[in-house]
Amino acid sequence: MTIKVYQKQVDDWIKEHGVRYFDEKTNMILLVEEVGELARLMARVYGEQSFKQTEKTQNAKMKIADELGDILFVLTCLSNQMGIDLTEVIQHNFTKKTSRDKDRHHKNPKLNQ
């Protein structure tokens, strides 16, 4: 599936099941909430924090994948309601990063140990 197709599917889903998009402020807050849920899992799975005894640790990577999906969905909602083509954004971002950082990381002694 392409990004453009995904954006269209999200838009169709919102119109069919969501009634309408939440306003941009609400979607931004939801995005931060989803990122927080991912951060919490990452701290427990890959970081030094442990799960509470009442939390199930099984399928932690599946939970992480689910949170990534939620983040992508809300991010796509924001893009759609602001008329932003994510394919163009991605292409522009790679051009910017390549121009700015093409040698930067190779010269970073912290990465070349």
Please tell me the predicted confidence (pLDDT) of residue 95.
96
Domain 3-101, CATH homologous superfamily name and number = MazG-like (1.10.287.1080)
Where are the chain's structural domains? 3-101
pTM, 2 dp: 0.88
Residue with tokens 């051009």: 95
Q: What percent of the chain has pLDDT over 90?
A: 79
Nearest to 2 by CA among 87, 82, 72, 60: 87
Say how far apart CA 73 and CA 95 lie, in whole Å.
24
User: How big is the chain by its Cα radius of gyration, in Å?
Assistant: 18
Dump pLDDT digits (tens) for 40-58.
999 999 999 998 888 776 7
